[in-house]
C-alpha cells in the first residue's frame, strides 16, 4: 500500500525584525552601500561591504506589505505595522496595502514606510539623513514617473549621497554568470506579479525586444484558492491565500506534458499514490456530546463567583468616589466652622449649592450611602466565604448572595437564568457516548490531485484563467524570431531561469521540452536555473556595488538629480535603458497672436 500523504498546514507566524547594530566596517573608511531588493512580494536589504565582518547576505527579509489600523476608542492613535511586524497576514487581510501596482511602485507614501522600516532595523543612525549610497532594484522598463518619484523620495526625504537603479533579474544573471563577462543569454524571470522574457546581448539588455506576461505567483495562488473553494464549499473560510501560497511552494510542480499528466491522474492507482492530503485544523468535540451535570454545576458556580467579584469591584469603586466627595464636602463645612466665609461661599458656588443647609443635607445623604456600601461589601465577602465552604454541587444555592442582595446583583444573575434553567436535569441519567458517523479528521482534509499542476500551469497557458495572453513558450519563440539565426543560436546557449516563481519542480525540464520543439533539428541549447532564484538578485546587486563602490559608472549623484531630473538614469550592465523625455516643440506665442486677431476680426466672415 502507498504511504498516506497527509500534511498539516504550518500557518507560520512572522517574527518581528530586531533592530540590528551595524558593524564598524559599515561606517569606515567610507559609508558602505546599502543594497535593497525592492520586490513586489518581498523586500530584502543588507550591506555591500568587502569586509568579512559584515555578512554577505540580506539581513532583512519581509513581505512588502503595510497595515494601518484605526485608532482605538481609548484615544490611542492609528498604528502602522510593516512587514514581519504584522505577525500573520490573514487577520489583517482587509487592511493590507502594498506600494506596488503589478511590479511598479506607485504608492510612494507606503514605499516610504517600507524604507523607514529598512533604515530603522538596519541601525542607520545618521541624524536627519541616510549617508549611505543606495543600490535599488526596479522593474524592467520602469516608467519614468515611477523612477522620478523614487529619486525624489531618496534625495529629498532621506538626503542620500547617490543612488543606483538596476533590474533584479539582470542582477541575478550577473551573479550567476558562467562565462567571461560580458556574455549573452535569454533571461526568463517569473516573480509574484509578472513574468519577463529578457534578451541580453553582450552584457546589455535589449529593451526593444523585452516581453512581459502579466502572470505570476499571485495569480496562481488566487486561481488555486478559487479551485479549492469550489471543491470544498464547507471550508470556504479556511482556504486562505496564505495557505494557498504554502501549497504552491511545497506541493505543486510543473508537468512536462500537461495533457499527458492529466491522463495519468485519471487512473485511480496513480491518484492514490500521488494525492496530497492537507489537514485543516479542527476540534475533536462533537456537536451532539453532552457534559456531565457535575461539570455544569461547577461552571455555574464559577459564573456566580465572577458576578460576585464584578459587583464587589463596582461597589469598591463607588465607595471610593463617594468617600472622596464626602471628604470634599466636610472640608467646605470646616471652612464655615472656622469662620472663613469668603472661601466658604466661593466653595459653595463651585459645588453649585445655595446654602449651608443644602450642604448639610448632602453630607448626611453621602454619609448614609458610604455606610450602606461598606455593609454590603462586608456582607458579600461573608457570603463568598460561606459559598466556597458550604457549596454542594447536588443542591446549588440559587441565592448565595444573601437576603440583602442589591438589585444590580439580582439583575446580573437573572441574565444567566435562561442558560441555567436548561442545565439543571431533574434526574441524572447515564449518557451514552456518541459515536461519529464519519471520520472527522478526513472531513477536514483537502485532497490535492490535479490542482498540484493546474495552478502553476497558468504561466504556460494563461487561457486557463481567462487571460488573453501568450504563455512563456509562445512569448519566448516570438522574442527569438526577432533576431537572426546566428543571434538566436547565441541566445539559446544560455537560457537562464530566475525569480521565485521558477522554483517549481519540473520547470527546467518543461522549458527544455518547449525549446526542443521550437528549435531546428539537431540544434543545441542550454537551460540553467539560478543557484538561489529568490536571493540571487540581491547577491548580484551586492556584487555590483562592491565592484563599483569607488567608480562613477552607474551612480546617480545628487548633482545629477538636480540638473537632469528625477527620471534620469545612469546605465550599467544590469540597468534599464535610459530613454529621456522628449517634449514636442510648442509654436511661438508671437506667431499665434496675428492668427487669433485675423480670426476674430470679422464675425460675419466666421458665420
Whats the size of the chain, residue-wise? 607
**Whether residues 198 and 97 fall in one domain:** yes
Q: Give every CB contact of residue 568 below 8 A, 6+ residues apart in sequence.
A: 151, 556, 560, 561, 578, 580
Is residue 457, in this structure, part of any structural domain at all? Answer: no
Enumerate residue ranges in the chain where pLDDT < 70: 1-4, 71-77, 178-179, 285-293, 382-438, 583, 585-607
Q: Which DSSP string corresponds to 40-100? A: SSEEEEEE---STTS-SS-SEEEES-EEEEPPPTTSPPPEEEEGGGGS-SSTTGGGEE-SE
Whether 86 and 197 map to the same domain: the answer is: yes
41 and 169 together in one domain: yes
Cell reading at 72: 482605538
Residue 252 falls inside a structural domain: no
The alpha helices in 422-523, defined as continuous H runs, are 440-443, 451-454, 472-480, 485-492, 507-518
Would you say residue 532 lies in a domain?
yes
Residues 186 and 48 in one domain: yes
Per-residue pLDDT reduced to its tens digit, 2-38: 456 899 999 989 999 999 998 888 988 889 999 999 9
What's CA 366's distance to the chain center, in Å?
Answer: 56
What pLDDT, on a 0 to 100 scale, did the predictor assign at position 22?
Answer: 87
Residues 323, 203 within the same domain: no
Domain span holding position 491: 12-214+469-581
3-state secondary structure of 374: helix
**Is 41 in the same domain as 187?**
yes
Kindly state whether residue 230 falls inside one of the protein's structural domains: no
Asked if 300 and 210 sit in the same domain, the reply is no
CA distance 369 to 262: 82
Task: Answer left, alpha or beta for residue 83, where phi above 0 means left and psi between -120 and 50 means alpha.
Answer: left
* Same domain as 510, residue 377: no
Looking at 382, 398, 426, the residue that finishes a domain is 382
Q: How far is residue 277's CA from residue 485's CA, in Å, rounded to a whole number? A: 48
- What was the pLDDT predicted at 296? 80
Only one residue has cell 518543461, namely: 510
Asked whether 138 and 577 are in contact (CB, 8 A), the reply is: no
Neighbours of 230 (CB within 10 A): 10
How many domains, the chain? 2
Would you state the pLDDT for residue 15?
Answer: 93
Return the C-alpha cell found at 18.
530586531
Is the Cβ–Cβ distance between 104 and 38 less than 8 Å? Answer: no
Please report which helix (H) or strand (E) contains residue 185, including its range.
strand 185-190
**451 lies in a domain?**
no
pLDDT of residue 179: 65
- Is residue 551 situated within a structural domain? yes
Burial 337-362 (b: 16+ CB within 10 A, else e): eeeeeeebeebbeeeebeeeeebeeb
522 backbone φψ class: left, alpha, beta (φ>0; ψ -120 to 50): left
Residue with cell 479528521: 441
Domain CATH code at residue 555? 3.30.420.40
Q: How far is Cα 133 from Cα 20, in angstroms, rounded to an integer? A: 19
Give the integer Cα–Cα distance in Å for 561 and 433.
77
What predicted TM-score, i.e. pTM, was given to this entire model?
0.72
Assign 3-state DSSP to the chain and report helix, strand, coil percentages, each to 5: 45, 15, 40
Helix (H) / strand (E) containing 388: helix 356-390
What pLDDT, on a 0 to 100 scale, did the predictor assign at position 283?
82
Q: Is residue 431 part of a domain?
A: no
Residues 210, 301 share a domain: no
Last residue of a domain, one of 346, 363, 382: 382
The reported pLDDT for the residue numbered 595 is 52
Cβ contact 537:145 at 8 Å: no
Please check whether residues 478 and 355 belong to one and the same domain.
no
Cβ–Cβ < 8 Å for 401, 310? no
| Statement to judge: residues 368 and 475 lie in one domain | no
Question: For position 401, what pLDDT does the model report?
Answer: 39
- Which of 350, 382, 414 terminates a domain? The answer is 382
Q: Which residue has the cell 441555567?
A: 420
Residue-level pLDDT at 435: 52
29 cis-preceded (ω within 30 degrees of 0): yes
Burial per residue of 436-460, b for 16 or more beta-carbon CB atoms within 10 angstroms, e otherwise? eeeeeeeebbbebebbbbbbbbbbb
The DSSP 8-state label assigned to residue 469 in this structure reads S
Provide the 10 A C-beta neighbour count for residue 329.
18
Residue 256 included in any domain: no
Residue among 398, 196, 176 nearest 300 (CA):
398
Which three cell numbers, joined as nine digits, stand for 551? 567608480
SS3 for 95-127, per residue? HEECCEECCEECCHHHHHHHHHHHHHHCCCCCC
**Domain match, 19 and 152 both:** yes
Torsion of CA 498, 502, 507, 510, to 10 degrees: -60
Amino acid at each position: 500500500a502507498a504511504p498516506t500523504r497527509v500534511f498539516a498546514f504550518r500557518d507560520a507566524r512572522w517574527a518581528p525584525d530586531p533592530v540590528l547594530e551595524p558593524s564598524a566596517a559599515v561606517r569606515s573608511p567610507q559609508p558602505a552601500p546599502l543594497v535593497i531588493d525592492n520586490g513586489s512580494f518581498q523586500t530584502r536589504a543588507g550591506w555591500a561591504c568587502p569586509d568579512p565582518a559584515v555578512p554577505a547576505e540580506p539581513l532583512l527579509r519581509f513581505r512588502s506589505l503595510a497595515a494601518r489600523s484605526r485608532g482605538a476608542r481609548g484615544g490611542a492613535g492609528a498604528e502602522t505595522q510593516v512587514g514581519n511586524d504584522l505577525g500573520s497576514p490573514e487577520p489583517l487581510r482587509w487592511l493590507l496595502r502594498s506600494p506596488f501596482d503589478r511590479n511598479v511602485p506607485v504608492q510612494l507614501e507606503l514605499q516610504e514606510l517600507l524604507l523607514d522600516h529598512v533604515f530603522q532595523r538596519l541601525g542607520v543612525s545618521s541624524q536627519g539623513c541616510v549617508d549611505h549610497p543606495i543600490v535599488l532594484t526596479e522593474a524592467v522598463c520602469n516608467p519614468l514617473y515611477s523612477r522620478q518619484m523614487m529619486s525624489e523620495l531618496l534625495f529629498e526625504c532621506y538626503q542620500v549621497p547617490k543612488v543606483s537603479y538596476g533590474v533584479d533579474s539582470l542582477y541575478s544573471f550577473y551573479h550567476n554568470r558562467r562565462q567571461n563577462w560580458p556574455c549573452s543569454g535569454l533571461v526568463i524571470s517569473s516573480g509574484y506579479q509578472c513574468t519577463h522574457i529578457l534578451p541580453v546581448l553582450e552584457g546589455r539588455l535589449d529593451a526593444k525586444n523585452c516581453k512581459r506576461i502579466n502572470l505570476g505567483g499571485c495569480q496562481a495562488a488566487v486561481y488555486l484558492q478559487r479551485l479549492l473553494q469550489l471543491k470544498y464549499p464547507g471550508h470556504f473560510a479556511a482556504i486562505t491565500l496564505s495557505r494557498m501560497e504554502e501549497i504552491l511552494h511545497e506541493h505543486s510542480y510543473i508537468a512536462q506534458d500537461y495533457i499527458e499528466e492529466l491522463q495519468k491522474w485519471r487512473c485511480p492507482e496513480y491518484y492514490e499514490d500521488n494525492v496530497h492530503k492537507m489537514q485543516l485544523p479542527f476540534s475533536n468535540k462533537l456537536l451532539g456530546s453532552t457534559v456531565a451535570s457535575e461539570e455544569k454545576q461547577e461552571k455555574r458556580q464559577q459564573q456566580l463567583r465572577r458576578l460576585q467579584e464584578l459587583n464587589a469591584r463596582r461597589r469598591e469603586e463607588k465607595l471610593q468616589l463617594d468617600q472622596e466627595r464626602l471628604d470634599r464636602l466636610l472640608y467646605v463645612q470646616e471652612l464655615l466652622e472656622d469662620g472663613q466665609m469668603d472661601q466658604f461661599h466661593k466653595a459653595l458656588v463651585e459645588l453649585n449649592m445655595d446654602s449651608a443647609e443644602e450642604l448639610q443635607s448632602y453630607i448626611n445623604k453621602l454619609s448614609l450611602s458610604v455606610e450602606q456600601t461598606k455593609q454590603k461589601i462586608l456582607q458579600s465577602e461573608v457570603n463568598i466565604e460561606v459559598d466556597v465552604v458550604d457549596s454542594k454541587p447536588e443542591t446549588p444555592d440559587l441565592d448565595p448572595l444573601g437576603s440583602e442582595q442589591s438589585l444590580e446583583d439580582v439583575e446580573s444573575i437573572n441574565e444567566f437564568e435562561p442558560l441555567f434553567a436548561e442545565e439543571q436535569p431533574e434526574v441524572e441519567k447515564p449518557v451514552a457516548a456518541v459515536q461519529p458517523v464519519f471520520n472527522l479528521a478526513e472531513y477536514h482534509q483537502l485532497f490535492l490531485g490535479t490542482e498540484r499542476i493546474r495552478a502553476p500551469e497558468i504561466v504556460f497557458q494563461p487561457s486557463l484563467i481567462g487571460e488573453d495572453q501568450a504563455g512563456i513558450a509562445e512569448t519566448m519563440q516570438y522574442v527569438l524570431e526577432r533576431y537572426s539565426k546566428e543571434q538566436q543560436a547565441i541566445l539559446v546557449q544560455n537560457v537562464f531561469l530566475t525569480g521565485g516563481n521558477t522554483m517549481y519542480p519540473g520547470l527546467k525540464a518543461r522549458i527544455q521540452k518547449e525549446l526542443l520543439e521550437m528549435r531546428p533539428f539537431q540544434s543545441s541549447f542550454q537551460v540553467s536555473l539560478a543557484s538561489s532564484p529568490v536571493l540571487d538578485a540581491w547577491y548580484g546587486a551586492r556584487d555590483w556595488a562592491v565592484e563599483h563602490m569607488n567608480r562613477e559608472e552607474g551612480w546617480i549623484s545628487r548633482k545629477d538629480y538636480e540638473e537632469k531630473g528625477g527620471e534620469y538614469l545612469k546605465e550599467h550592465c544590469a540597468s534599464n535603458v535610459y530613454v529621456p523625455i522628449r517634449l514636442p516643440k510648442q509654436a511661438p506665442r508671437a506667431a499665434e497672436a496675428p492668427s487669433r486677431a485675423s480670426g476674430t476680426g470679422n464675425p460675419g466672415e466666421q458665420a
